[in-house]
Amino acid sequence: MSKITFNSAQSPFFKTLKEKVDNHFASLRIDTAGNRILYLKSAIQLISAISIYVSLVFYTPGNFLAVLLCGLFGLNMAVIGFNIMHEGGHQSFSKHPWLNKISAYSLNALGGNAQYWKVKHNVNHHTYTNIEGMDSDIDVKPFMRLHEDQPHYWFHRFQHWYWFVLYGISYIAWVFYEDFEKYFTRRIAANSDPVKFSVKEHLIFWITKIMYIGVYLVIPVLMVGWLQAVIRYIVIAFVCGLVASVAV
């Protein structure tokens, strides 16, 4: 496949739209970065996630309450991804670069990798939206067909029935398979350029993955037993994956 390029000359539409957006923020004196309301909301989300985790792991509530809390924790994780990680990755969480960087790396605490996300989302998705082979957000092959250039199989006629299952397990696939596939192939999408990691990013990748497994699986297994820990993790991961996939 030949390299995909676009005309870099600014169109009148883009120029006019950008001017109107800039004027809107300027006239209402709205900061283009985060403010105290965003910081407060983010603090509440983090405190909520930590509180639910502690309750599930160290206070071992009954099964019904545990399942309810797992669902809330999965939702909480997705919300942190949207409100903290996403804004930090776009450098819009704060006017301070260091705070944006910390916010972006919150994805590593959720099991993902901030560096891969920046390329996958900021570059591939926003630049090559819905282009097969570049935008990996539409790459659910062979289980779903989301683009006319993707292979068409007989079972795709039923994908409107089973989509929620794939979306639900997408988080687990992301954390335990897709990130490692990107790491060893060095590619975010089939036709994207190789991603180069510094020594620091290699260390961050492996250390945060190991820490994730320790926090989300090893400690719960030690505290509540392997069966309860696995069931609760599956509920958390399914809710997080479903909410994140539908919202995106």
Q: What residues make up the domain containing 124?
A: 32-247
Query: Does a structural domain hold residue 107?
Result: yes
Please report, to the nearest 10 degrees, the dihedral formed by the alpha carbons of residues 124, 167, 81, 43 taken in order. Answer: 170
Looking at residue 193, its pLDDT comes to 81
Each of the 248 residues of the chain gets a pLDDT tens digit; together they read 556 776 666 678 888 888 999 899 889 888 888 888 899 999 999 999 999 999 999 987 888 999 999 999 999 999 999 999 999 999 999 989 999 999 999 999 999 999 999 888 888 888 888 888 888 888 888 999 999 999 999 999 999 999 999 999 999 999 999 999 999 999 887 777 888 889 999 999 999 999 999 999 999 999 999 999 999 999 999 999 999 998 86
Q: Is the whole model's pTM more than 0.85, yes or no?
A: yes
Both tokens of 119, joined, read 């390329």
Question: How many domains in the chain?
Answer: 1
- Residue 99 identity: L
Query: Does a structural domain hold residue 14?
Result: no
Query: Does a structural domain hold residue 27?
Result: no
Please report, to the nearest 10 degrees, the dihedral formed by the alpha carbons of residues 216, 222, 225, 227 taken in order. Answer: 40
Query: Does a structural domain hold residue 80?
Result: yes
Query: Does a structural domain hold residue 23?
Result: no
Query: Does a structural domain hold residue 87?
Result: yes
Q: Count how many Cα atoms sit within 13 Å of the Cα of residue 141 in the half-sphere of its side chain.
A: 14
Query: Does a structural domain hold residue 216?
Result: yes
User: Cβ distance 242 to 164 under 8 Å?
Assistant: yes
Query: Does a structural domain hold residue 191?
Result: yes
